[in-house]
Amino acid sequence: MTQESRSPDKPAAGQRLTFDYELDAPPEKVWRALTVPAFVDRWLTPDQPERDAKTIATEVIEAEPPHRLSWNWREAGEPEGVVTFTLTPNETGGTSLRLVHVRRLPAMQPAANSNAVTMMLAA
Amino acid sequence: MNETDVFRALADPTRRAVLERLATGSRNATELREGFAISQPAMSQHLAVLRGAGLIKEARTGRSINYAVDAAGLAPLHDWLTRYSAFWPSRIEKLQDLLREMDQ
């Protein structure tokens, strides 16, 4: 694992979305909600009760309980990506949750960095 | 337009800079080259790649060619951002509901 791919601020390549949330629950509890399949189904795919009917498929590629979780992200009809959750205890006993979703680019040199593109699109 | 072409075109920092410059308004080839330490042929090549990916369009006015951003070419990038910009906040809302229902 390289330093670059570990840093949420420096994706190797691709479009990236970052979200920050303050959650009332402690990291250990949030971690369970993110990792126990029955819990994940309830918040991630609540409108898809049948497991077979899922259009979203996640695969854990990195897990460092209860701090950091990365999923390979596949959704029918959408480009593949990597979703990373970073959990940090906050001052009120809850959790600061950072969610970073990086779109994986098709066949591209790893040196590419399209941050500029994201910024331009956001402008 | 082929999405792979779009990403290939945007993989190059010079082409990204050219596109950003055009995002502020159309330019002819001479204006576009200002501030870039690259030759005219090199710029022409970058412009050809951008045009091939559908990211820019050109319009001939008299003897000069004006280049402008082709918004349609950026649609594949916008689609991804639009989808997940809405998707994740709604899911995190459901995660918060779940956390309230879970036992400690």
User: Could you tell me the CATH number of the domain that includes residue A35?
Assistant: 3.30.530.20
Is A111 a member of any domain?
Answer: no
Q: Are A23 and A30 in contact (CB under 8 A)?
A: yes
- Alpha-carbon distance of B73 to A47, in angstroms, equals 33
Name the residue with tokens 């990365």.
Answer: A70
In A, which residues are within 8 Å of B74 by CB distance?
Answer: 121
CB pairs under 8 A between A and B: 88
- The three state secondary structure string of chain B is CCHHHHHHHHCCHHHHHHHHHHHCCCEEHHHHHCCCCCCHHHHHHHHHHHHHCCCEEEEEECCEEEEEECHHHHHHHHHHHHHHHHHHHHHHHHHHHHHHHCCC
Query: Tell me, what's the pLDDT at B72?
Result: 86
**Strand runs (DSSP E) across A8-90, as ranges?**
16-23, 56-64, 68-75, 81-89
B3-101 CATH fold: Arc Repressor Mutant, subunit A (1.10.10)
B25 touches chain A (CB under 8 A): no
Residue A33's domain spans which residues?
13-44+56-104
Which residue from A24, A33, A106 is facing B3, i.e. has the nearest CB? A106
Is A113 a member of any domain?
Answer: no
- The closest alpha carbon to B74, from B26, B27, B9, belongs to B9
Query: Tell me, what's the pLDDT at B68?
Result: 94
Is A72 a member of any domain?
Answer: yes
Query: Tell me, what's the pLDDT at B77?
Result: 79
A87 touches chain B (CB under 8 A): no
- Alpha-carbon distance of A63 to A71, in angstroms, equals 9
Is A123 a member of any domain?
Answer: no
Is A40 a member of any domain?
Answer: yes
Is A24 a member of any domain?
Answer: yes
Query: Tell me, what's the pLDDT at A64?
Result: 97
Q: How far apart are the first and last CA of chain B?
A: 50
Counting the structural domains of chain A, the total is 1
Query: Tell me, what's the pLDDT at A123?
Result: 37
Taking an 8 Å cut-off on Cβ atoms, the answer to whether B92 and A42 are in contact is no
Query: Tell me, what's the pLDDT at A15?
Result: 80
Is A94 a member of any domain?
Answer: yes
Mean local confidence (pLDDT), A62-81: 93
Average pLDDT score over chain A: 77
Q: What is the pTM of this model?
A: 0.68
In the three-class reduction of DSSP (H, G, I as helix; E, B as strand; rest coil), residue A118 is classed as helix
In B, which residues are within 8 Å of A42 by CB distance?
Answer: 94, 98
Q: Tens digits of per-residue pLDDT, A14-28?
A: 688 999 999 999 999
Query: Tell me, what's the pLDDT at A25?
Result: 97
Which residue from A78, A108, A116 is facing B16, i.e. has the nearest CB? A116
Instruction: Give domain limits for chain B.
Output: 3-101
Taking an 8 Å cut-off on Cβ atoms, the answer to whether B84 and A101 are in contact is yes
Average pLDDT score over chain B: 89
Q: Tens digits of per-residue pLDDT, A25-62?
A: 999 999 999 999 999 999 998 776 555 455 888 999 99
- Alpha-carbon distance of A87 to B92, in angstroms, equals 14
Query: Tell me, what's the pLDDT at B1?
Result: 55
Comparing A115 with A76, the larger pLDDT belongs to A76
pLDDT means per 10 residues in chain B (104 residues)? 78 90 90 90 94 92 90 83 92 96 82
In the three-class reduction of DSSP (H, G, I as helix; E, B as strand; rest coil), residue A35 is classed as helix
Taking an 8 Å cut-off on Cβ atoms, the answer to whether A24 and B99 are in contact is yes
DSSP β-ladder status, A81-89 and A68-75: antiparallel
Query: Tell me, what's the pLDDT at A14?
Result: 61
Name the residue with tokens 């205890």.
Answer: A89
